[in-house]
């Protein structure tokens, strides 16, 4: 025979009159999944009713109720997971109907979850009293958790409880005198504390992404892994142990605090910029029966300037004419393994030797990171025809974490002399154009050896003026210029020659007209002597 488990969802007001009759509003009973015929489900107790005139009826045809209030199954009854409900009615000589709902609760809970509290208090257990309860877990949220035997005062747990949702229940026990139907003066407070079991695995809290500088020393703190556990604080259920499942060759984690530190100083961003490690957290201080969780943590390496820029060639040679200025002579590329576009990667070039007179300058192209070497002031061939420069490549940021130093290369600048005669001829020819743009150069080239001439033009701020600029002509250019001059000279000589011949003829003709005496020819004899007359 099953035990009677009673839970009051609502306690009716107790009438002070002895003749008053009432029934509980609800009754929770734990029953087996299959109730066999003849099984006594529960016993209904009436308070203050006339035992001789009271009548009890049950609304479910599968059950019957006896005169003593015992509810018995007539047939085999199946109780589903949601339970089964039926009602019981009571009448006495007042002919007023009282109803009570009986909730059959299917017994699926293991016996180890059933807790019983026998209430004796200062009261004798001689069936002189009825015991009822109200409060949390009974008629207020969460309802249907507890029930009390009205005869013995035993408190029963009807369903499993979760400490993480409801750690404690505050219940009031109400005691009635069976003979006077009077409620005792004070309600007895009961506090049911839910004991903790290790039913919650630890959980990670916060992001698992950390950053540490490359080449940092061993023992450098990378970050802290945080975890929490919903079980009861102060017990081994929440004592978490941290371990590294992978990545222990370069990192380690404190088993109690979760602090990750480095174990080496060889972390190199240029070889591997991100490291992924697997972290395990386990409660019960890492005991084999403890619950655990795993996750991956990403450790990024931040860049330091441990790689100086390196040159692509060991030296450079460049040629410049002695009168040239503001001209790009050379682009010097470099390589840098540090983070691109950062100050550790951006180059800064310095002319460390050979520029004592300030004839050169070098700047960095921000897009290509190349060094651009310019001639700032014209060089004088008579003073020097060869300049030895030394170019040093640095970074905007200082070197850090490396024994390397800044690198330098030699740059040989050959100075070409400008021919003064050709330069003067160039001025007489006066080739050139006027422009408002910055000075430019044009070269007329040929496969022959270049010859220097002068070309116009320069623009000063605020006004236009022409200045001589050198330009080179080949042999074909010289012939093109000299041929017309030679032809004109030959034409002039021919004209002079014809003019002289013409003048001689004119002189002979004029002398015959004025009676001059012609000379005799030795080869011709006159036939007629009269011809002389």
Kindly give, in sequence order, each residue whose CB lies less than 8 Å from that of residue 332, ignoring residues fewer than 6 positions away. Answer: 311, 316, 349, 362, 370, 371, 372, 373, 391, 393, 409, 411
Which has more pLDDT, 446 or 504? 504
pLDDT higher than 70, residue 59: yes
By mean pLDDT, which of 45-59, 172-186, 191-205, 255-269 is the weakest? Answer: 45-59
pLDDT attached to residue 440: 40
Q: What is the DSSP letter of 39?
A: -
252 falls in which pLDDT band (50, 70, 90)? very high
Q: What is the pLDDT of residues 426-475, one digit of tens each?
A: 444 444 433 334 444 443 343 444 444 334 344 444 444 333 344 445 66
CATH of domain 310-416: 2.60.40.60
Distance CA 437, CA 51 (A): 124
Q: What is the pLDDT of residues 400-433, one digit of tens each?
A: 877 889 999 999 999 998 875 455 544 444 444 3
Which has more pLDDT, 32 or 209? 209
Q: Per the structure block, which two tokens stand in for 89?
A: 């009615």
Task: List every span in the chain annotated with CATH 2.60.40.60.
Answer: 26-193, 203-302, 310-416
By mean pLDDT, which of 103-107, 275-279, 348-352, 505-509 is the weakest? Answer: 505-509
By mean pLDDT, which of 181-185, 196-200, 466-470, 504-508 is the weakest? Answer: 466-470
pLDDT higher than 60, residue 69: yes
By mean pLDDT, which of 113-117, 350-354, 381-385 is the weakest? Answer: 113-117
pLDDT attached to residue 91: 79
CATH of domain 26-193: 2.60.40.60
pLDDT higher than 90, residue 494: no
154 falls in which pLDDT band (50, 70, 90)? confident
pTM for the predicted model, two decimal places = 0.54
Calculate the average pLDDT of the chain.
78
Strands 129-135 and 40-43: unpaired
pLDDT higher than 60, residue 175: yes
pLDDT attached to residue 451: 42
pLDDT higher than 50, residue 37: yes
**Edge-to-edge, what's the strand order for the sheet holding 251-253?**
221-224, 259-262, 251-253
pLDDT higher than 90, residue 52: no
107 falls in which pLDDT band (50, 70, 90)? low
pLDDT higher than 60, residue 225: yes
User: Measuring CA to CA, which residue among 362, 343, 364, 363 is closest to residue 354?
Assistant: 362
By mean pLDDT, which of 33-42, 340-349, 357-366 is the weakest? Answer: 33-42
For domain 203-302, the CATH class is mainly beta
pLDDT attached to residue 466: 39
Q: CA angle, 522 as apex, 519 and 523 as ends, to 5°? A: 120
Task: For residues 158-162, give the mean pLDDT.
Answer: 88
Report the greatest alpha carbon distance in the chain: 214
Q: Per the structure block, which two tokens stand in for 453?
A: 């001439």
Q: Which of 94-103, 315-324, 465-474, 494-503 ranks highest by mean pLDDT?
A: 315-324
Contacts of range 440-447, beta carbons closer than 8 Å, 24 or more positions apart: 441/327, 441/469, 441/471, 442/471, 443/471, 443/472, 444/471, 444/472, 444/473, 444/474, 444/477, 445/472, 445/474, 446/473, 446/474, 446/475, 446/476, 446/477, 447/474
Task: For residues 99-111, give the mean pLDDT.
Answer: 69
**Other C-beta atoms lying within 10 Å of the C-beta of residue 84:** 20
Kindly give, in sequence order, each residue whose CB lies less than 8 Å from that of residue 462, ignoring residues fewer than 6 positions away. Answer: none
């Amino acid at each position: 025979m099953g035990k009677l488990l009673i839970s009051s969802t609502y306690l009716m007001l107790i009438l002070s009159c002895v003749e008053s009759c009432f029934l509980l509003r609800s009754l929770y009973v734990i029953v087996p999944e299959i109730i066999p015929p003849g099984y006594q489900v529960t016993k209904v107790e009436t308070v203050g009713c006339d035992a001789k005139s009271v009548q009890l009826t049950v609304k479910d045809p599968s059950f019957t109720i006896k005169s003593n209030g015992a509810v018995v199954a007539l047939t085999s009854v199946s109780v589903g997971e949601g339970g089964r409900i039926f009602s019981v009615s009571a009448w006495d000589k007042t002919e007023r109907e009282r109803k009570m709902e009986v909730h059959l609760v299917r017994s699926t809970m293991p016996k180890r979850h059933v807790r019983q509290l026998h209430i004796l208090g200062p009261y004798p257990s001689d069936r002189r009293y009825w015991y009822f309860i109200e409060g949390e877990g009974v008629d207020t949220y969460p309802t249907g958790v507890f029930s009390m035997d009205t005869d013995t005062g035993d408190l029963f747990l009807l369903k499993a409880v979760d400490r993480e949702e409801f750690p404690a229940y505050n219940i009031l026990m109400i005691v009635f005198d069976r003979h006077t139907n009077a409620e005792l003066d004070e309600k007895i407070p009961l506090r049911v504390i839910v004991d903790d079991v290790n039913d919650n695995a630890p959980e990670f809290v916060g992001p698992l992404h950390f950053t540490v500088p490359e080449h940092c020393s061993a023992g450098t703190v990378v970050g802290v892994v945080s975890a929490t556990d919903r079980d009861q604080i102060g017990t081994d259920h929440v004592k978490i142990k941290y371990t590294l499942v992978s990545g222990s060759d370069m990192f380690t984690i404190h088993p109690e605090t979760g602090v990750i530190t480095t174990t080496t100083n060889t972390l190199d961003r240029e070889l591997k910029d991100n490291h992924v490690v697997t972290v395990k957290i386990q409660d019960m201080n890492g005991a084999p029966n403890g619950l655990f969780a795993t996750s991956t943590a990403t450790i990024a390496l931040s860049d330091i300037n441990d790689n100086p820029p390196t040159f692509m060639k060991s030296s450079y040679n460049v040629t410049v004419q002695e009168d040239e200025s503001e001209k790009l002579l050379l682009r010097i590329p470099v390589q840098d393994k540090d983070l691109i576009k950062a100050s550790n990667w951006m180059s800064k070039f310095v002319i460390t030797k050979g520029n004592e007179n300030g004839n050169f300058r070098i700047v960095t192209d921000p897009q290509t990171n190349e060094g651009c070497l310019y001639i700032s002031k014209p060089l004088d061939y008579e003073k020097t025809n060869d300049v030895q420069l030394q170019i040093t490549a640095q970074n905007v940021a200082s070197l850090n974490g490396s024994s390397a130093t800044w690198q330098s290369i030699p740059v040989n600048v050959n100075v070409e002399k400008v021919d003064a005669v050709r330069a003067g001829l160039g001025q007489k020819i006066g080739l050139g154009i006027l422009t408002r743009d910055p000075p430019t150069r044009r070269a007329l080239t040929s496969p022959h050896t270049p010859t220097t001439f002068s070309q116009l033009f320069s623009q000063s701020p605020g006004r236009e003026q022409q200045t001589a600029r050198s330009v080179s002509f080949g042999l074909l250019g010289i012939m093109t210029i000299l041929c017309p001059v030679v032809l004109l000279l030959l034409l002039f000589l021919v004209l002079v020659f014809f003019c002289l011949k013409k003048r001689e003829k004119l002189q002979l003709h004029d002398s015959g007209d004025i009676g001059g005496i012609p000379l005799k020819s030795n080869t011709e004899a006159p036939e007629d002597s009269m011809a002389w007359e």
